[in-house]
Chains A and B, each alone.
Chain A
Amino acid sequence: MSFHLAPQADLERGITTLGGRRLVFHCHHYNVFLQRTIEDALQERAPRLLVAAGMEASRSMLQGREGEAQSGSAARVLQRAADTFAAQGFGRVDVRQLGEGGGQATLDHSHYAVGWVSRWGKRPAPGCFFAAGFLAGAVAVAYRLAPERVTSREVECVAAGDERCSFRVEVW
């Protein structure tokens, strides 16, 4: 990541920001435990909250950051989003098959899948909800789409026994 896209730390206040939004370090134990807590509590409603929160958070950051970065092409915005995602520790996502109409993305070494499996083993259904939301937010920002026009869901997940994590992003 180039310097102007790196997180900014205010050591006196204990605050780190990127694109004007706060970042906080947390580990896989907390991330997957909190997700499981929410899934247990909300059952079938949980994915909607988790994906929407991921989209909202990433969209806010990416909008702020792209305002600073003089965006360039949508493909470059998407690639910067993928690079940021990896720098933040969420895994390596391939966004080259995403476009204005949505598309497919694959994710290697998903933090949430790796964390879930290391803690509890496999789960019955895909579990990388944050990543799904992040991708929807990235497409919305790259193509300047209203957020309600973009949806995303994980169709394959390492934590559910698949060979890799993959996502279907749709634009309505």
Chain B
Amino acid sequence: MAIDERVIVETVTGMGLAGNEEGLIPAFGLYLTNHYADFYNRISFGVLGALVRENPELTEDAVALLTEAAHVCAFHTFGGIMSSVEWDALVQPMIESREDWVRGMMAVVNAFGWGRFRVAELLPDERLVVELRDSYESSGYLESYPRTDGPRCFLANGGMAGLMNLVYQGDITRRPALTEELYREVFSDPRSFRSRERLCAAKGDSHCEFVVERMQG
């Protein structure tokens, strides 16, 4: 059975992920929030703008900070999901190859409100190209700021690198413990995956596109 994205999206959406008696959403071994895109966008673009205005030479560093947050997100969120009983029940039966871990996770993310991801190209252990439409980051950016010269989907961009690192670098298929040590080991490897956002709606492209490849360590 191949990955059936529609079934996964409808099932995850139908799980009714909402606060329990304590007002918390424990799921996939995590505490989730159904948070405001406006909040993430304001604080992310706000800190980026402040740092760049005050120290333009720190632009790359500021982007790196937001990318690091995205790597942490991917490692724990995607890793937690791919290690969960919910994954075992819903996605695992559809998996026929390691690449299906990538496709299956992408289908789950399509139920999270981040926009619609589509795998355009996946070369095992080598390269991933993903298209994203209705990105909450780029659409949120354009609500508050003029069109930009550079990409703005820092979370999605870092998240795609994180996904490839989990599958091919950290071997999430073996269900390792998602420790800080493993995070450092995976992401500081000189040949780990990094992503670049080649197209971004915030700079006028029709959609966003991410290219994930190994660094040339």
Contact = CB atoms under 8 A, between A and B. Distances in A.
A89 B30 CA distance: 11
10 contacts: A14-B115, A21-B38, A24-B114, A29-B75, A30-B73, A41-B50, A49-B43, A88-B34, A89-B23, A108-B22
B112 A24 contact: yes
A27 B32 CA distance: 4
Interface in A1-28: 1, 7, 9, 11-16, 21-28
Nearest to A39: B47
Interface string A137-169: 000000000000000000000000000000000
A137 B217 CA distance: 48
Contact of A53 (B21, B43, B68, B133): B43
A62 to B, nearest CB: 11
Contact of A11 (B10, B28, B155): B10
Contacts of B13: 9, 11
Contacts of A42: 47, 50
B25 interface: yes
A32 to B, nearest CB: 9
Given A33-B73, A89-B34, A15 B43 contact: no
A75 interface: no
Interface of B: 9-10, 13, 17-19, 21-25, 28, 30-40, 42-44, 46-47, 50-51, 62, 65-66, 68-70, 72-73, 75-77, 80, 110-117, 133-134, 136, 139-140, 155
A48 B13 CA distance: 34
A91 to B, nearest CB: 4
A56 interface: yes
Given A24-B113, A25-B17, A89 B25 contact: yes
Given A26-B40, A45-B50, 15 more contacts: A21-B36, A24-B34, A25-B112, A26-B77, A27-B28, A29-B72, A41-B47, A49-B43, A53-B46, A58-B36, A61-B38, A90-B19, A91-B23, A92-B23, A114-B31
A105 interface: no
Contacts of B116: 12-14
A78 to B, nearest CB: 15
Contacts of A21: 36-38
Contact of A57 (B38, B134, B155): B38
Nearest to B44: A34
A96 B11 CA distance: 37
Which A-B residue pairs are the 9 nearest by beta carbons? A86-B23, A30-B73, A89-B25, A57-B36, A29-B76, A14-B116, A53-B42, A22-B37, A16-B113
Interface of A: 1, 7, 9, 11-16, 21-31, 33-35, 37-38, 41-42, 45, 49-50, 52-54, 56-58, 60-61, 85-93, 108-109, 111, 114-115, 130
Query: Which of B38, B44, B117 has most chain A Cβ within 10 Å?
Result: B38
Contacts of B139: 22
Contacts of A31: 33, 35
Contacts of B22: 91-92, 108-109
Contacts of A37: 47, 65-66, 68-69
A88 B33 contact: yes
B59 to A, nearest CB: 13
A155 B155 CA distance: 31
Nearest to A133: B39
B69 A25 contact: no
